[in-house]
Amino acid sequence: MTNQAPPDHGRLMETARTLAEALPYMRQFNKNTFVVKFGGHAMGDDSLGRSFAEDIVLLKQVGINPVVVHGGGPQIGKMLERLNIKSNFVDGLRITDAATVEVVEMVLAGTINKQLVASINAAGGTAVGLSGKDGRLIEATRLKRTARDPDSNIEKVLDLGFVGEPTKVNPHVLRVLEQSDIIPVIAPTGVGLDGNTYNINADTAAGAIAGALQASKLLMMTDVPGVLDKQKKLLNRLSPEQCERLLADGTISGGMIPKLETCLQAVRQGAKAAHILDGRLEHVLLLEVFTEHGVGTMITRD
């Protein structure tokens, strides 16, 4: 007869309390759509990648419809280096010529997309990889940027090549998948009216999809705890008006500016709420969705 360790009643009670706390949110969000942008440090960490896949599968199992949009900038950079293709950047955007866009599509819609699909499937889900070109999901046009010459003070239009911005999201294919057990995993490339492939910033793509789907939540995984005030204290909840003030007075700076602007645009286009989360935390999606106070920063119209 083998000796069994006595049950840890404290841990069992903690698990029971956690499940009880989650139940109202499971009911509230049943049949709701969440758009999740996966990127940052979590994409390069096997443990965080597994916890992310488990979170996505659990969301689907409790009746939520997760739509995953992923990035892949570092992986694209590594492949371009291997192929001896030089990259130049303007305002954080990779100038994408014809040779580069082929590599971008190969890495985003190929390697990364299929790895993430496999990870979600290994966690018990049924994931299917898509790109913005499938079903003309994301129609795009060439992104325009301008810069002022410091000597002549003349503003010039910059040629970023095949860098795009969404002009239209056609959510039909995602609506069809909502009625199934399939979890869509989307690579952020788009297609132009001219048939060209465009490289789209993953945050921008996720925000556009969330707005088009009228998603209950846009969940943006980053490498920071959320939006911080000038004293570096986390701001848990913001209105669009508060966001505008923080942008105007310089509280929000650097890479957080485009992320917050993406959240604002998604909310204004119809998403009910947008969240900026620390993707370095294991099971951060479950902590945000199924606990009373959540984590990170929520931007909401209410």
pLDDT digits (tens, 9 = 90+) for 7-38: 677 777 887 887 888 888 899 999 999 999 99
Average pLDDT, the chain: 89
Whether the CA torsion 82, 86, 90, 96 is positive or negative: it is negative
Q: What percent of the chain has pLDDT over 90?
A: 66
Q: Taking Cα atoms as reference points, which of 219, 213, 211, 244 lies closest to residue 298?
A: 219
> What is the per-residue pLDDT for 148?
61
Q: Is the pLDDT of residue 147 over 70?
A: no
Best mean pLDDT range from 78-82, 189-193, 249-253: 189-193
Asked whether the predicted pLDDT for residue 94 surpasses 90, the reply is no
pLDDT at res. 132: 95
Confidence tier at 88 by pLDDT (50, 70, 90): confident
Which band of pLDDT confidence, cut at 50, 70 and 90, is reported for residue 119? very high
- Over range 49-58, report the average pLDDT: 95
Per-residue pLDDT averaged across 54-78, rounded? 94
Region label for 251, one of left (φ > 0), alpha (ψ between -120 and 50) or beta (otherwise): alpha
- List the alpha helices (DSSP H) in the chain: 9-28, 46-61, 73-82, 98-105, 113-122, 172-178, 202-213, 240-248, 256-269, 284-289
Q: Which amino acid is at 169?
A: V
Question: Which domains, ranges and CATH numbers included, belong to the chain?
Answer: 34-300 (3.40.1160.10)
What is d(CA 69, CA 82) in angstroms, rounded to the nearest whole number? 25
pLDDT at 15: 78
Average pLDDT in the 155-172 region? 85
Q: Which tokens belong to 221? A: 């995984």
Write the DSSP symbol of residue 193.
T
- Tell me the C-alpha distance between 46 and 60, whole Å: 21
Q: Is the pLDDT of residue 95 over 60?
A: yes
User: Residue 179 pLDDT more than 70?
Assistant: yes
Residue 197's pLDDT band, with cuts at 50, 70 and 90, is very high
pLDDT over threshold 90, residue 181: yes
